[in-house]
Structure 1
């Protein structure tokens, strides 16, 4: 997955719209479904927990299906890209305990994966205005750059391929 620059204002606007729409749909859908089920199948004991839970589950599944259906829509371009990037970065982070020792031993693929993780994290944190740990990221990047120069490796985020993670 290639790292691309995203229009921050457009991304935030579309993400907020998706979040608000999902919250409103979940609320309206779960209440509507639950109330319909309660009206159709009243419980003499007065406990309607199972119908309320059923309403939430059905609404969540429908929202998930709708999001999956529209993820390739032009409106969702930035939001979908960020979701996919987060998925890749999570996969890298799960492998980080193996990647770091391998990079210290000179494994080029491990260094590329870590470099991509740092570059992708920087992109995400800037989009979300989460600059609190950027200093630590800069320190980690400097340490990785030191390893790269030690082993005479040129690190480019464009060289990353998800299949590289399979060896770790």
Structure 2
């Protein structure tokens, strides 16, 4: 995955549309499915919990499938990009201790993964207006910069790919 510049305003407006559409779809679909099942298979005891639960599960699956199919639509570009970025950052975060240890020893791939993580996190936090922990990110970036200078490594985050995480 490569980092891309995206318009924050467009991202936020499209994310809001996706959230509202998902909530509305979940509500309408779950009620429709559960009410149809209750009508077709009424219970003598009056408890329809299992039909209501099935309605929610079916609608959640339907909305998930629909999001997956629409992920490649041009209007979903910004939202899908941020979802993919969060996925990549999560993969790196799971290996963070090993990456930090390897970077401290001069491993270029570890440093590259950390650099991608820091730049990606900075972009993500700015998109989501979550700048509270930016100081800890700056501290981590400064440490990485020291290692890059110490080991005389050139980092180009366009060289990053998730396959390099397998060695850690």
Give the TM-score category using the shorter length: over 0.9
For normalisation by structure 2, the TM-score amounts to: 0.98
Q: 1:109 maps to which residue?
A: 109
Question: Is 1:79 paired with 2:79?
Answer: yes
Please give the alpha-carbon distance, in whole angstroms, between the structure 1 residues aligned to 2:36 and 2:28. Answer: 12
**Number of aligned residues:** 168
Q: 1:2 maps to which residue?
A: 2
For normalisation by structure 1, the TM-score amounts to: 0.98
Gaps in structure 1 of 5+ consecutive residues: none
Q: 1:129 maps to which residue?
A: 129
Instruction: Provide, for residues 8-55 of structure 1, a one-character-per-residue CA deviation record: whole Å limited to 9, x for no partner.
Output: 010000000000000010011101111110111111111111101100
Please give the alpha-carbon distance, in whole angstroms, between the structure 2 residues aligned to 1:134 and 1:154. Answer: 24
Question: Is 1:156 paired with 2:142?
Answer: no
Question: Is 1:25 paired with 2:25?
Answer: yes
Gaps in structure 2 of 5+ consecutive residues: none
Question: Is 1:63 paired with 2:39?
Answer: no
Moved beyond 2 Å, runs of 4+: none
1:156 Cα offset (Å): 2.4
- Aligned-residue RMSD, C-alpha: 0.8
